[in-house]
Amino acid sequence: MHWYLDVLKKYATFNGRARRQEYWMFALINVIIAVALLVVDASLLGTGVIVPVYELAVLLPSLAVGVRRLHDTGRSGWWMLIAFVPLVGGIVLLVFLASDSKPETSEYGPSPKLAGTAA
């Protein structure tokens, strides 16, 4: 759960790097929360409003951690826009987000993977 809270603490931080584990744990917990809210909303309220409001609330942190993840792979955050390319854009972005980190220091900062092992 700390992965999710760490991303929320960096609400609109688009600079720096995010490890693969940080990105995917945030994505997993985000999906679990959205499904739980969907079930609660469908069973109790039936309005279908709770999940869109939640997703809107976490939109900026989701974009920020995605950009930081791309920085960790040595790519610019502008590569997020490739998702708008029909058919292949989402697949290419998925491959980029699943790629391993660049171990060396880049213009986006030092590798968080190496910083985590040194401590």
**H or E element that contains 90:** helix 89-98
Inside any domain, residue 119: no
Inside any domain, residue 115: no
Query: Are 43 and 69 a contacting pair, CB within 8 Å?
Result: no
What residue has token string 């502008």? 78
Inside any domain, residue 32: yes
Inside any domain, residue 53: yes
Inside any domain, residue 116: no
Domain limits for position 67: 2-110
When pLDDT is averaged across residues 79-93 and rounded to a whole number, the result is: 95
Question: pLDDT per residue over 30-53, tens digit each?
Answer: 999 999 999 999 888 778 889 999
| CA–CA gap between residue 84 and residue 78 (Å, rounded) | 12
pLDDT value at position 115? 67
The yes-or-no verdict on residue 76 having pLDDT over 50 is yes
pLDDT value at position 1? 77
Task: Report phi then psi at 109, rounded to 5.
Answer: 125, 180
Domain count, the chain: 1
Inside any domain, residue 16: yes
- Average pLDDT of the chain is 90
